[in-house]
Structure 1
Amino acid sequence: MSENNTRLGIWLMVATTLVFAVQDGLSRHLADEYHVMMVVMIRYWFFAAFVIFLAKQQGIMREALKTEQLGLQVFRGVLLAGEICVTVLAFVWLGLIESHAVFACYPLLVALLSGPVLGEQVGWKRMVAIGIGFVGILIILQPGSGVFSPAALVPLLGAAMFALYGLLTRYASRKDSAMVSFFWTGIAGAVAMTLVGIWFWKPMAGGDWIWMITLCFSGVLGHWLLIKCYAVAEASAVQPFAYLQLVWVSIIGVSFLGETLRTNVMIGAVVVVGAGVFALWRERVAAKRVAQ
């Protein structure tokens, strides 16, 4: 991969994190007025329409439908939909900043679970990084203190679900193309969310539909940017820049949603992100050794 492509990939990842941060802010705003299930359901309608459009545009609709792992692909899609519901709920209960500070541990969970799920070897250095990262989580959550709330565990559940989704995606890639997995993620998630979310339907005000449409298009734009990012650069080179989303959501949370940035959250987030970047770097080093 050339330096120019890597540089472009980094800028695309920066743009992706900004778009996804705006999406999270809009999700938090809408979920304050409407049920989380309804908001996520409408998001998934647009997501499903996007993957169908993408498959048709590329002339690979039949190929996108074909999979030898239908059960796995459907489970992945439903799991991601559930994770989004859990995470948006965390936004409502805790706010964007604290939720994302905790959620930032998901790369560490991926590293921790890659052994039992994928049979990959996790070295002692990455295990130490994982341990340090969870010290950061404890700093953020402050268990045993008067400010700790059980609701603070919700984004941790979301991170665990997203980590499992990521591992299952890697497992599915052994037989299915990225487009097949992407297609089934949108379709399975849309069907699952419709079956659940339709029971929580509530008429939306005209102004809120503008926010809802903006939310849906931001999701499509974010996924498109992410696809382009991974198309021009190695995932291991750009993945550390995904942590910039925490910076963007902090700005949005403080500037537009009246949230505050507590000292323990800042310190804990730095520890978690530092450990996560180190774990990603060690994974890249290990992958290069295997390739040689």
Structure 2
Amino acid sequence: MKVKSSRGIFLSIVAMLCIAGMDATGKLLVQTYPIVQIMAVRFATFFIIVMLIASLKGDLKQVRSNIWGTQVLRSLLLVVEVTVFILAFSMMPLADVHAIATMAPLFAMLMAGWFLGEKVDRRSWIAVAIGFIGALIIIRPGLGILSWYVVIPISGAILWASYQVLSRHVSQFDSSATTVFYTAFIGLIVFGGLAPFNWVDPTFIGWQLLILNGLFGAMGHYLLIKALTYARASTLQPFNYTLLFWAIAIGFFIFGEFPDGFTILGAIIVLSAGIYTSDAGRRMSGLSLIASKKEFNFIRKFSNKIT
């Protein structure tokens, strides 16, 4: 079980790297192309990859779902979540939206406990809380006077958490290939139907960036879905904060954005939260407890001798 959980954690971290790459290419593309067009190409690329893999395996039947209604609902949640955050970015500062979005792991842990019956231990709660504080230090939002606008990104965070919890739920009935197929297919139908009305002819470099954006998105969603087949949704939540690490690294190497001291401090706090809840962290905590007991016994024996 521990090996499987470790594998899920690793896949989750790599998935966050892919999502960071998707966000970076999206940041470049959105300056020229409509968001609907970017999303349509992303899901089209995703769908082609899914069907290609299914064809190479010689088993197109693997896309059949045992709970297709839940699969459609889960995929639509992702589509709505993307739209909600796009709306939030158009109405609020970017930093404010990201600050509120970091609440998603907390929502996911609650939902995993309520709907999946997963036991959320004290260490996981502490880790997510610490990661949340680290995320706030990194982005340092200035929310000012709260308004009803905050309901939008909060809704997006709830939708993202719901999407992950449902992905974990469907993994108990369908293969990861089936889940990935529905994610790509539903997204392609929705955004593909809107793209012709919001289309700008891409240049050669534009097509390269659009396809690369789609590849990053496809790999990110596939690896996240795969990770949820190995580990509980509540276990993976603290590691979703590693997205901030990848964003800092990509921002530095591609956009020349050098992180300041507060950003580095926040990143260290986020990493500490992830280590704290991991199996390695639990082992280190156990060793520390054993060491503390030995030290206490030694001090007690020594004090008895000198008295």
- Relative to the length of structure 1, the TM-score reads 0.71
Contact 2:11 2:224 in 1 (8 A): no
Structure 2, unmatched stretches of 5+, are 284-307
Task: Select the residue among 175, 194, 200 that pairs with 1:177.
Answer: 175
Task: Describe the shift of the 1:28–1:191 C-alpha distance in structure 2 as closer, same or farther (beyond 3 A).
Answer: same
Q: How far apart are 1:234 and its partner, in Å? A: 4.7
Task: Select the residue among 76, 79, 100 that pairs with 2:77.
Answer: 79
Task: Select the residue among 111, 115, 122 that pairs with 2:113.
Answer: 115
Task: Describe the shift of the 1:150–1:172 C-alpha distance in structure 2 as closer, same or farther (beyond 3 A).
Answer: same
**Which structure has the larger Rg over C-alpha atoms?**
2
Any idea what the Cα deviations from partners look like across 1:256-286, whole Å, max 9, x if unmatched? 336564666555565556556655669x99x
**RMSD of equivalent CA atoms:** 4.4
Contact 2:42 2:218 in 1 (8 A): no
Q: How far apart are 1:188 and its partner, in Å? A: 1.3
Question: Which residue matches 1:290?
Answer: none
Q: How far apart are 1:197 and its partner, in Å? A: 3.3
SS in 2 for 1:204: coil
Task: Describe the shift of the 1:206–1:130 C-alpha distance in structure 2 as closer, same or farther (beyond 3 A).
Answer: closer
State how far apart, in whole Å, the 2-side matches of 1:63 and 1:30 are.
34
Any idea what the Cα deviations from partners look like across 1:158-191, whole Å, max 9, x if unmatched? 4332211111112222322222212111111211
Contact 1:25 1:252 in 2 (8 A): yes
Correspondences of 1:1-292 after superposition (within 5 Å) = 16-67=15-66, 69-87=67-85, 103-135=101-133, 140=139, 142=141, 145=144, 157-222=155-220, 226=223, 230=227, 234-235=230-231, 239=236, 243-257=241-255, 259=257, 261=259, 271=269, 274-275=272-273, 278=276
Contact 2:41 2:211 in 1 (8 A): no
Contact 2:18 2:216 in 1 (8 A): yes
State how far apart, in whole Å, the 2-side matches of 1:252 and 1:31 are.
17
Task: Describe the shift of the 1:276–1:36 C-alpha distance in structure 2 as closer, same or farther (beyond 3 A).
Answer: farther
Task: Describe the shift of the 1:197–1:228 C-alpha distance in structure 2 as closer, same or farther (beyond 3 A).
Answer: closer
**Which residue type is aligned with residue 41 of structure 1?**
A
SS in 2 for 1:28: helix
Q: How far apart are 1:54 and its partner, in Å? A: 1.6
SS in 1 for 2:189: helix
State how far apart, in whole Å, the 2-side matches of 1:126 and 1:9 are.
16
Q: How far apart are 1:20 and its partner, in Å? A: 3.1
Q: How far apart are 1:245 and its partner, in Å? A: 3.1
Instruction: Report the number of matched residues.
Output: 277
Structure 1, unmatched stretches of 5+, are 286-292
Contact 2:102 2:135 in 1 (8 A): no
Question: Which residue matches 2:302?
Answer: none
Q: How far apart are 1:85 and its partner, in Å? A: 4.3
Percent same amino acid among aligned pairs? 29
Any idea what the Cα deviations from partners look like across 1:187-246, whole Å, max 9, x if unmatched? 11211222233322222233312211222233345556x389859x9547x956654432
Task: Describe the shift of the 1:122–1:20 C-alpha distance in structure 2 as closer, same or farther (beyond 3 A).
Answer: closer
State how far apart, in whole Å, the 2-side matches of 1:56 and 1:207 are.
29
